[in-house]
Each structure stands twice: as structure tokens, then as C-alpha cells.
Amino acid sequence: MILLRVLLVSRIDDRNALEFTKKLADSLEKNGFFVMFEKSTGKSLGSCGFPLKEISADFVIVVGGDGTFLHTAQCLPPNIPLIGVNMGEVGFLAGLEPREAIPFLLSMREGFLTEKRMKIRFSRGGSWLGDALNEAVIVTRSPAKMLRFTIKIDEIEAEGFRADGIIISTPTGSTAYAMSAGGPIVDPGIEGFLLVPLAPYMLSSRPHLIAAERSLSIVLESEKTATLVIDGQNRIDLGEYDEITVTRSPNPAIFICGKKTFFEKVNDKLKRL
């Protein structure tokens, strides 16, 4: 049997998450897995660890909430599968709950299924700004101020509106901030860009789902300074008339399929809200 190399990442400010990560590591090692820790996780557990950007593993297990999962996905090299164990409030990105995690993960010695999740790439003037697994948000840096946006699809001005901001979401991120702002839940098997205005001035400004094959750009038509926030992790300052180009990232995230389908998870987790 092939020895599987597993990297464990834990939320380090949560004692329950760290204790579960240690318990999980012990179970995996006893059953023939080669276990490694992410650097901060290892330090918190009194062990050595490895930086995410330099890791080589057959798959990664993230113990924590969606924030821990997104941080891991941002830093992980391409093409490494990952799965989450939910230790947060809702955990839409997690494939497993703690009670079912250890038996399922041990069964992965016999193989596992994966699915690709599209990421969105953001650029300005030809320079890469970052990739998002969930979403990016453009908001003003001045409280209670509105911004003006122009949306270009295939180089044609498709819409202009004023709003507190705009969310540019992947289908995976449709159950996150975009859903809270009134956007639809989108099957992650669909590849597209979900645009959701934040508190638009005109009620006619509605969410749009745009095919990933189209060219999309967002122009900031406002004198006010703004910030682009990618997956809640990276912040980029924007200036007047900055144009943000939105494309499909060449590096999708690789999710390990858990016990429940996407729609089973949505049905289960929405009941908790």
C-alpha cells in the first residue's frame, strides 16, 4: 500500500481545534499515514512544521472554520487536494464534521474522489492582484460613502450603478458574503462570475451571473478611495478610474469530496443560521 503524505493545518487560536488536530494526527499515524504539520500548527502543538507555500503532500486536512480554509487555499501550491473539518460556526467549505472525520479520513487509504473548484483572478493594468476561492469585495475606505461602478462585459459597458460596494464571487463563494447580500446559491459545477451590488442606490441593480468564458472588468468611477479585499485575506488600495480585470484563474482549488454533496451541505447548514 502506498504511504500517503498528509499535511494538517489547524486554527491555532482555538484550543478545541488544536486538540482535535493532535487526536487526528495520532490516529492517522497509527494507521500508516505520514503526517506533517503546517508551521504555525506544529509550533502550537510543540512540534516542527512546514510553510504552506513549500509543502509537498498527497492531500491537506484543514481543521477550523472557513477563514482557516481560505487562508490555506490561498497559500497552498497548485494541485494539492484539500478537505476541511468544520470547527467554526457554519463551515460551508468544510467537507466533514468532527464526529465523522476520523473514520472518513482513515478510509482514504483506499482512494478518494476530488472535484475542481474555480478560482477568480484579479488584475489591474496587466498586473496580478490575487486569486479568490470565495470572493473579492470592493468597498469604500470612507464609512457611509457610496461608490460608482461601470461593468464591462466583452468590452461593452453593460451596466453602471452606485452602491456601497460590489461582491465578485465564485460559485463556491455564493453561499458566503454574496448570499448574505441577496445573491443566489450557485451550483459549484457552474463556472462563472457572480456580481452582487452591496446596498445599491437603485433597486433595478440586481445580481448577475456571467459565464467565465466572457471578458469582464469593473471600473471604479468614483473620486473616493476604495479597497479590494480578496477572500478576506489580502487588501489592495484602489484609486479613481482603476479598472479591475476579472478572469478565471488557471489554478483551481482541488476539493476532496466528503460524505455529503454540495446541496446536502447547504440544506443542513442553512438550518443552523
Give dist(CA 189, CA 172) in Å, integer.
Answer: 9
Is 66 among the residues known to form the active site? Answer: yes
Do residues 124 and 114 lie in contact, with contact meaning Cβ atoms separated by under 8 Å?
no
Select from 198, 148, 158, 205 the least CA-distant residue to 178: 198
Residue type, 46: G
Tell me the three cell numbers of residue 158: 453593460
Do residues 138 and 244 lie in contact, with contact meaning Cβ atoms separated by under 8 Å?
yes
Tell me the three cell numbers of residue 97: 464534521
Catalytic residue among 13, 66, 164, 237: 66
Sheet with 114-117: list strands edge to edge: 34-37, 5-10, 59-64, 82-86, 253-256, 114-117
Give dist(CA 150, CA 171) in Å, integer.
Answer: 22
Contacts of 99 (CB under 8 A, 6+ apart): none
CA torsion sign for 101, 104, 109, 114 is negative
Pairing of strands 34-37, 5-10: parallel
Q: Which residues are identified as catalytic?
A: 66
